[in-house]
């Protein structure tokens, strides 16, 4: 029987890198991952790695401008 191995070329962030991008502590990143709020993979050594594309998408979603309720932003 022949085994095939999937090789991914995805880029992953370390916990500290995600913390810096989100401007929170590494402990907060770990807690969010544990709570299921951030996607991650575990390394063979048990460390978390966070997929770059998903983290960048989250940052983009969090930095979108907020439109105020009840009318145009330009009204006085």
The pLDDT, as a whole number, for residue 26 is 98
Q: Which residue has the tokens 């966070």?
A: 50
* Range with the poorest average pLDDT among 9-13, 42-46, 70-74: 70-74
Residue 13 DSSP SS3: strand
Rounded to the nearest integer, the mean pLDDT of the chain is: 87
13 has which bridge partners? 50
Nearest CA among 41, 34, 2, 38 for reference residue 21:
38
- 69 band by pLDDT with thresholds 50, 70 and 90: confident
Domain count across the chain? 1
Beta strand 12-13 with 41-42 is unpaired
CA atoms within 13 A on the CB side of 60: 6
CATH of the domain at 37: 1.10.1660.10
| pLDDT tens-place string over residues 23-55 | 999 999 999 999 999 999 999 999 999 999 999
With respect to residue 2, please indicate whether it lies within any of the assigned structural domains.
no
Domain with 50 in it: 12-62
Rounded Cα distance between 33 and 35, Å, is 5
With respect to residue 72, please indicate whether it lies within any of the assigned structural domains.
no
The pLDDT, as a whole number, for residue 20 is 97
With respect to residue 76, please indicate whether it lies within any of the assigned structural domains.
no
């Amino acid at each position: 029987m022949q085994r095939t191995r999937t090789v991914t070329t995805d880029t992953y962030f370390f916990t500290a890198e995600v913390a810096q991008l989100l401007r929170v502590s590494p402990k907060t990143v770990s807690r969010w991952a544990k709570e299921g709020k951030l996607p991650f993979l575990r390394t063979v050594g048990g460390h978390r790695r966070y997929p770059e594309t998903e983290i960048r998408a989250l940052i983009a979603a969090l930095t979108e401008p907020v439109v105020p309720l009840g009318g145009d932003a330009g009204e006085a």
